Every structure is written in C-alpha cells, then in structure tokens.
Structure 1
Amino acid sequence: MHRTKTPLLLLGLLPLLAACATPDAGTQPDAGSQTPAETAPHGYIAGAQENSEPQTGLLTLDRETGEAQLLSLLTEETVDAGTFGPVSTVHQDGRYTFITTDDGMDVFDTGAWTVAHGDHDHYYSAEPGVVGTLELEDPGAVAGNGSVIAVFSDSEGYASLYLREDLDAGRIVETGRITTSPHRGVAVPFEDFFLVSVAGADGIPDGVEVRNLDDQTVLPKARCPGLSAHAQTRAGVVFSCTDGALLITEDDGAFAAEHIPYPADASAEPADTLNHRPGSNELAGPAGDTGVWHLDVSERVWTFLETPVPVVAASAVGGDTQRVLAVSTDGSLLSLNPESGAVLNQVPLLEHVEDSVPQLRIDTSRAYVSDPNGSTVYEIDYADGLRVARSFDVPSADFLLETGL
C-alpha cells in the first residue's frame, strides 16, 4: 500500500525559550554540536533544544487515512505530521509514537520530551519526523523504560529490542530479542530486565516471568489469568488479570511478584484497561457497564466506583488531587472520589459516543478528551468542576496522545 510521508515544518512549534540552569550553561550549544560532558544538561541529545517549561502538545490521527497533526499546547499552533495510511493501533513511549498500519509499524518522533533529574525535570524539543519502519512481523504491544523499547510480535512470539539512543540518532536497529511463544503478548523493560507475558494452554497470556538481557529467566512465571493490560508506576509494573492485578517490584536486583485480588464480594466485570496520570501510583479502568475500578498500587487496594451510567473510558489522577475521571456512554464526563465513591461532578460533553471511542489523557493539571465524531479535543480543568478550559478543532480525533511529558 502506498503511503505518503508529508515533510514537517515545525519551527512554529519550537519556541526559543531560555534553557534551565546548568553548570556553565549561559547559552545553548549550536544544533548538532557535541556539548562537553561537564557542561551538558542532564539527558542532553545533540541537536535538541532545552527549554524552561514542558513542550506539551497533542498528536491526533485519523483511523482511516492515517492523517496526523501536532498541536502545541503552548502556542496553539498546528503542523501537519504526515499521512500513514489506515491505522489500527497507536502506542507511545515518551518522545516516540509507534503507529501500526497495514504495512507494519512506523516510528514517529514527536519532537518533545521530558527527562527526570532528581527533584526537577529537563524539557527538550527537536524537529519531529518519521524515524522509519520496524522490520517486524505482526507488531503488537510496545513498552519502554527510557533506555530500551520492546515491541512484541504476536504471531512470532518474540519481542524486538530497540535502544532509545539509536532512535535519538535517527536509526532503527534491532539490538536483541526476548523469545517466548506466539500469543498477544508484551515484554516490559524494567531496570535492566524484562517482564514477559507467558501464554497459557489456550494461547491467552496467563502469567508473567522476568528475563535478563541474555533472555534467561530470573523470576519464574507469576500467575495472571487473562492478562490484558499493563501500567508502569513508581511502585512497580502492574498487569491487569481477570482476578485482580499482578504487581512486579524490584529491590537491588531482587524481583518479587505480588497478587492484588479484587474484593471478595466483587461482582463487577474485571478492568481490562489500566490508565493513569504519568508518575502516579493510582490506576483506573471501566468495570463493564456498572462503574469503574480504581487501584491504589501503594496501598494494594481495589475500589469499585459505581457510576450513574456505563463508562467507556476512565483514568486516575492520583497524587494530592483525589480524582477518577470517566467518559460515559451518554457523552458526559464524570469526576469521582476514589475513597468515598461519590460522583463529584457530571457534565455533558460529547454526543453519539456509542459509535465512537473517545480517549482520555491526564497530566498534572489538565485532562484531554477526544470527540472523534466532532473532530474536537477538549481541555478539562479537573480541579475546577470539570470546566472546559479550551477546545481544539482538529482534522480527526480517532487517536489522541499527549506529547512532551
């Protein structure tokens, strides 16, 4: 299938902001020059611009055509991000987006990222563009840890490994593989190891084991029937299971697997998605058509939150702002208290949700809700009664990602 890759003109998305303070860093180096190690900002990459604030934006894509657009949340300027052809899935790992089409999986550099450094962060931007296409059969789940990205081949039963430093240099090089058996699996890089799903007798993943860089098992299979999703938190990596969650933790090279069961009296359907604000230890996902499941990973506690109408998307804010946000089938946006279960706010937002799949993204101060039917993205102040702070008209909102985090 022929695909066009539209050139990117992104100068409008890269505001020239003062760099955050670094030793001897009065000015930024010229693009492409090598900064001396003693003066390089933490996480510096040659050719990147360091900025004084996060370079957050929205990447939206059309499911049928693959038309993509980047929108700066700082300037509200937009730029064409290319056309990829019919898109089936979109995955994100920091700076990079992995777009699955009929022809394979394209790697797109969003041109914005954040690097944590102790008690503060560094914010970078560069010109975005297509890095290339992965040479991988039947690519599925994508997971990364900031250093390495693992892309699972469902039909071949292995995960191809790619170093971030290669992608940063514009190269796609497979540096290794983690092998298992064909299934709809995942391999999650964790420290210098990999958490790999294991298929049960019916081919559905029913557990997770830990492998090292030599593809040797260092923690045997931990049970997780019906594994359907994973989330990386500060407490460890969480996998959703039909009977609760599996938490994998690491302490000085020693791994442990802990089962977090649903409450004994639970009657709601299991959560098959787990969503959260990046950096949070709280997760949420729809519980069938009756409500939302909330998981406090730090406390190892599930809580069922009943909703007045079924929900199609849910995510947890966590931290000091105790909120779970959910988009319902009637198009309303809900805010729930995860401790009391109370519905704090319910506001009308979307129409005709039943024939579309709205997406919900959360950061430290705002939430973003897509309206695929209306080709609109709403910016929500969730701490102010779900107030619509801004709305953005986009060519399509079938897929929505927040970039620069």
Structure 2
Amino acid sequence: MPRTTTPRTAALLFGLPLLLSACAEPGPDTASAPETAEPHGFIAGAQENSEPQTGLLTVNAATGEGQLLSLLTGDTSDAGVGGPVTAAYRDGRYALMATGAGVEVFDTGAWTVDHGEHKHYYSAEPGSVGPLQVPDAGAVAGDGTSIAVFSESGGYASVYRHKDLDAGNLAESARITTSPHTGVVVPYEGHFVASLAAGSGAADGVEVRDAGGLVVLGRQDCQGLAGHAATRAGIVFGCSDGALLVSGDGGTFSAEKILYPDGGAGRPPATHLDHRPGSNELAGPAGDAGVWHLDAAKRKWTFLPAPAPVVAASAVGDGRRVLAVAADGSLLTLNPATGAVDAQVPLLAPAVPGGAAPRILVDTSRAYVSDPARSAVHEIDYADGLRVARSFDVPAADIVLETGL
C-alpha cells in the first residue's frame, strides 16, 4: 500500500505556479478533422497535465528499497529494486538504477516534453519496466530519446530507445564499441560521444560517432576524464586540466578545451559537476579548497573559496548562485560574480566519513538537498535566503532523483 509522507513544515503543499501549455486552441475548421486524429503532443497511455508532475525518488543503497514521492500531492508509492543500488540516473520519464546484475529501468510516471516554444507535462502509472542485461554496467547516459549503458569489461555501450521502453521493449537497438575501460557513451544530437582509453583502463579522451559507429569527430584529449553534463552549449566532460566541451550543429561537431585559470593554481580538479537541467552553468567541489564554477557558454572557470570543506555543490544557472553543502552540514550560497558567501544556514548533520554524501538537485524555483544521515530531503527556496520551504521524512535518502522534469 502507498505510504503518505508527512512534511515537517506545517503546510503540506507549497503553492506551485500553474504552467499552462502554450499549444494553440483548435481553429474553426478543426470540426472537419477525422475523429481519429491525435492531438499535438499526444503520447499513448499518458495523461497530459497543465503543470509539471514533479516528484522525488529516494533509494536505500544497501537494500534497493525505494519510494516515489509526489511533490504536488504528498502521495507515495514503492519504487525500489531487489538488491543493492550503486548509482541512479534519470532520463526523461525513466530512472535507471545500477545494480550488481545490470540496470533496472523504472518508469517514474511523470515527464516533460520540450517543444522549444512550449512544453507538455505528462503523467502515467509508475512501475518497473525491467532489467537491462549489460555485463559490468558502469555509466549510464541519455538525451531523452536514447539511453546508453556502458559495459566496462565489454568496452561497449548498449543503446536503448525511449520509444521501445515506452512499449515495454527492453531490446538493445544499437551498440557503440570502444575498448574495455571505465568509460561512458553519451547520446547527443542523434550521435554518440564515446570515451576512449589509451591502454591504461582510465578514460583520457572522447570521439563522436554516428549511429552506425562511424567516427565523425576524431579523438579529443581529456586526461583524467571524470563525469559529464549536458548543457545548452553542448556536452561538458571534466578533465584534470579543466573541461572539454563537445558541441554539435546540424551534424557537424567540434570540441573546445576550457582550461582552469593559472593551471588550477594547485587546487584539485572537480571530479563531479552538477547543474540545473537546461542551464549552462555547472559547479563541483575543488577538493577541500572550495568550489569550481564553470560557465560553459562563456567558456570560463571561476574558483569560489568556501568557509569550510565542501562535500556537494550545484549551480543554479542565474549567474549569481552556486549552492554548496559544507562538511559541517551548513548550506551555502556562493556568488560566482563576486566570490562572496551570500548566505549560510545550518541544515544537515555533519558529514560522516564513509557515509552517503548529500546531493543538491536544482530546478527553476527550488533546490532539493538530501540528508542521508536523517533519512530526509529538504526543499529549499534558494531565492529567499535559503529558506527551508518543506522537509520530507523518507525511508532512506542515500540516492535521490527529482522526477517529472
């Protein structure tokens, strides 16, 4: 039975703006259209809504037990898998949970389709789709159309199409082969950005392939490749000396290195970059020294000092706010324009060595900060002095995804 979560704040629901679809009203001659015509944006088996159906998917890493919490109604449902989960990824309506046996696909039942000038917001019944049988599955990446799961021992990525998953079909649709290593293949602009390794087992570059495996952009160096992020400017990969930005335009691809200023000035590189989906700004901890902020559109890194070692960071994408969690449990707003700490509030229990790290998830109006030690997630109004709008008790908060975006 679904279990209802009670927020710690007095109000269960915080008013969300009504985001209306910008689809045109039917014209006067549409009465003559066949009754079987599908409306613009139609997706079989889904209900269209007037606002995004956002939620939180939380997972116990040790057991695989999960919960899906609606941020609109507060209702919950089961969303776990059997066995430990090492990582989770979201791509559109799907959550991909990496387990020892492969990758479990879970339909979160909520997603957004962006048509550029307007968006459609859909919901359907959430539930398990099934396992993707990829041996030694590592990194998972998607672009809302295709999902690529990298086999580290096999040295290839199995590609699955959303339209197949929508129909319950778990068959591999394509395979992008490189070499065995700790790598990733990122679907992008109808092509695939594939990591490469020069014999060491660690990724140290990328190239762009078409769907048939033909190389359309040759090897681009990225020593110490660690993580990637999709921005409007292109796909950003973290490198030991900065970042590599791969961008595409009408089937033509290019790559550009964005180096750390002054060679990083002895500061550790960012090994993980987080951002608000759809923005061009990213942020990640610079070891114990502070936070690296990257504006991919401006091709610019900025180092932001912090008053305490940082364990998680993410960029809001407005040029004025980077959110960070310090090891003492405080939540900070760092200003990339001035370098100042604009706000700092106590929020979490202090970090425990070896414990699950907090995560910061940012959308257009709120941030969600996981609190693994207390099995909670906090909803933060980052435009209002880091005010805690709501807090949710959850069974576990080792792994957290925001759904419905």
Q: TM-score, normalised by structure 2?
A: 0.91
Task: Output aligned runs, 1:36-185, within 5 Å.
Answer: 36-37=36-37, 39-42=38-41, 44-185=42-183
Q: Quick check: 1:55–1:113 contact (8 Å CA) kept in 2?
A: yes
Q: Quick check: 1:230–1:238 contact (8 Å CA) kept in 2?
A: yes
Provide the C-alpha distance between the structure 2 equivalents of 1:9 and 1:349, rounded to a whole number of angstroms: 25
Q: What residue in structure 2 maps to residue 279 of structure 1?
A: 278
Structure 1 pair 384/183, CA: closer, same or farther in 2 (3 Å)? same
Provide the C-alpha distance between the structure 1 equivalents of 2:333 and 2:297, rounded to a whole number of angstroms: 21
Q: Secondary structure at the match of 2:163?
A: helix
1:350 to partner: Cα distance: 0.7
Code of the residue aligned with 1:403 in structure 2: it is T
1:83 to partner: Cα distance: 3.9
Q: What residue in structure 2 maps to residue 368 of structure 1?
A: 368
Provide the C-alpha distance between the structure 1 equivalents of 2:329 and 2:197, rounded to a whole number of angstroms: 37
Provide the C-alpha distance between the structure 2 equivalents of 1:403 and 1:141, rounded to a whole number of angstroms: 19
The correspondence for 2:216, drawn from 215, 218, 226, is: 218
Q: What residue in structure 1 maps to residue 11 of structure 2?
A: none
Q: What residue in structure 2 maps to residue 404 of structure 1?
A: 404
Q: What residue in structure 2 maps to residue 318 of structure 1?
A: 317
Q: Quick check: 1:19–1:50 contact (8 Å CA) kept in 2?
A: no
Q: Secondary structure at the match of 1:373?
A: helix
Structure 1: give runs of 5+ residues left out of the alignment.
Answer: 1-6, 11-16, 27-33
1:19 to partner: Cα distance: 8.4
Determine if the alignment matches structure 1 residue 341 to structure 2 residue 339: yes
Code of the residue aligned with 1:118 in structure 2: it is G
1:104 to partner: Cα distance: 2.0
1:101 to partner: Cα distance: 1.6
Provide the C-alpha distance between the structure 1 equivalents of 2:190 and 2:286, rounded to a whole number of angstroms: 34
The correspondence for 2:252, drawn from 242, 251, 254, is: 254
Code of the residue aligned with 1:81 in structure 2: it is A
Provide the C-alpha distance between the structure 1 equivalents of 2:19 and 2:291, rounded to a whole number of angstroms: 43
Provide the C-alpha distance between the structure 1 equivalents of 2:162 and 2:230, rounded to a whole number of angstroms: 18
Q: Quick check: 2:368–2:380 contact (8 Å CA) kept in 1?
A: yes
Determine if the alignment matches structure 1 residue 390 to structure 2 residue 383: no
Task: Output aligned runs, 1:341-360, within 5 Å.
Answer: 341-354=339-352, 355-360=355-360
1:250 to partner: Cα distance: 1.2
Give the RMSD, CA atoms, in angstroms: 2.1
Q: Secondary structure at the match of 2:79?
A: strand
Q: Secondary structure at the match of 1:264?
A: helix
Q: What residue in structure 2 maps to residue 300 of structure 1?
A: 299
Provide the C-alpha distance between the structure 2 equivalents of 1:295 and 1:240, rounded to a whole number of angstroms: 10
Task: Output aligned runs, 1:197-236, within 5 Å.
Answer: 197-236=195-234
Higher deviation after alignment, 97-106 or 294-303: 97-106
Q: Secondary structure at the match of 2:311?
A: strand
Code of the residue aligned with 1:270 in structure 2: it is P
Code of the residue aligned with 2:357 in structure 1: it is V
Determine if the alignment matches structure 1 residue 196 to structure 2 residue 190: no
Provide the C-alpha distance between the structure 1 equivalents of 2:70 and 2:321, rounded to a whole number of angstroms: 26
Code of the residue aligned with 1:379 in structure 2: it is E
1:60 to partner: Cα distance: 0.2
Q: What residue in structure 1 maps to residue 9 of structure 2?
A: none
Q: Deviations over 1:165-219 (max 9, x none)?
A: 0111111110110000001111111111110000123111110001111101111
Structure 2: give runs of 5+ residues left out of the alignment.
Answer: 5-17, 28-33
Aligned residues: 383
Structure 1 pair 209/18, CA: closer, same or farther in 2 (3 Å)? closer
Higher deviation after alignment, 149-158 or 80-89: 80-89
Q: Deviations over 1:268-287 (max 9, x none)?
A: 10001011000100000000
Higher deviation after alignment, 229-238 or 113-122: 113-122
Code of the residue aligned with 2:371 in structure 1: it is D
Q: Quick check: 2:21–2:120 contact (8 Å CA) kept in 1?
A: yes
Structure 1 pair 361/35, CA: closer, same or farther in 2 (3 Å)? farther
1:102 to partner: Cα distance: 2.2
Structure 1 pair 221/35, CA: closer, same or farther in 2 (3 Å)? farther
Code of the residue aligned with 1:147 in structure 2: it is T
Code of the residue aligned with 1:183 in structure 2: it is H
Q: What residue in structure 2 maps to residue 13 of structure 1?
A: none
Q: Quick check: 1:181–1:198 contact (8 Å CA) kept in 2?
A: yes
Code of the residue aligned with 1:391 in structure 2: it is S
Q: Quick check: 2:22–2:119 contact (8 Å CA) kept in 1?
A: no
Q: Secondary structure at the match of 2:112?
A: strand
Q: Quick check: 1:89–1:99 contact (8 Å CA) kept in 2?
A: yes
Q: TM-score, normalised by structure 1?
A: 0.91
Provide the C-alpha distance between the structure 2 equivalents of 1:35 and 1:363, rounded to a whole number of angstroms: 38
Counting aligned pairs with the same residue, the percent is: 62
Q: Quick check: 1:8–1:81 contact (8 Å CA) kept in 2?
A: no
Provide the C-alpha distance between the structure 1 equivalents of 2:2 and 2:127, rounded to a whole number of angstroms: 6
